[in-house]
Amino acid sequence: MEQALIQRLPGYEHVAEIANLKRMVRTMQSGQRACAVSMFKRPERARTLLFSKPYLAVLPGRLVIRARDRDRFAPWSDDQGRVRLQALLDQAPMTLGFAQGRAYGGGIDAVIGAHATPRNSLPSYSNEVFQDLLVMLDNRRIDYTVAFSFELTHAQKQMSLSQRFITLPIAESPPYTLNYVACVKSPWGEAVMAKINPILMTLRATPTLYGPYKGTLDEQAASTYDALVQSIFAPASPAGTNTEQPATSGE
């Protein structure tokens, strides 16, 4: 996504920086001329940041656990194999590790916000948030965390871990969460966003934009992802003209 925008915005000097979520938000809220190419839209963020049109359907966050612990989660799973996160936090003698301030999308954020306590959870403030949580899971400091499937795929290729991990669907997750570009709320940000939105509208239903993300998905998810994208973003589809629905927008 970043390269697609850089190539199509030649009138700007582009400086790419890697930062955690809190730093990205703080940088833009301070008035600096900056944009984040990937962010979920939440009401508190929309009050202080500019958001683009949605451009990517991100498949929902999943529970990441040690493979050997699969049976421990059965009492808090429904008949479709989805783990009830609220029940897990309220009832299970286990510890959730999560990224403080991160939006996981849909009902997951609301459940963590309302039910995570020092008794049942451990927040992480690391710059490499998921990698840090995965190390904690590997070392048995936590019992589970939440992540997107592509994050686990990438991390396991990059890290040396002693255990095998699997993911489980979360009952409170929506079918997908929409992703956005966010920019500083200023005249500069408004001018940049006016150029970004037409680019996104042109590319979002094409493999040029969503192909790299699709390539990170497991085989089953990837096999249906093209159809999902077209149902949301294709210009001729009803859903393509009404993509910012509360049930799937990550708000």
Query: Do 2-57+177-241 and 62-169 fold alike per CATH?
Result: yes
| CA-based R_g, the chain, Å | 19
Token pair of 11 as six digits: 């009138």
The whole-number mean pLDDT for each consecutive block of 10 residues of the chain, a chain of 251 residues, reads: 84 80 89 92 92 93 92 94 95 95 82 96 86 94 91 84 88 88 95 95 93 82 87 68 42 36
The long-range contacts involving 222-228, CB below 8 angstroms and separated by at least 24 positions, are 225/59, 228/57, 228/176
Q: What's the CATH fold of domain 2-57+177-241?
A: D-Maltodextrin-Binding Protein; domain 2 (3.40.190)
> Can you give the pLDDT at residue 247?
39
Q: Does domain 62-169 have CATH number 3.40.190.10?
A: yes
Q: What is the DSSP string of 21-46?
A: HHHHHHHHHTT-S-EEEEE---HHHH
The angle at the Cα of 38, spanning 34 to 43, to the nearest 5 degrees, equals 85
Q: Where are the domains of the chain?
A: 2-57+177-241, 62-169
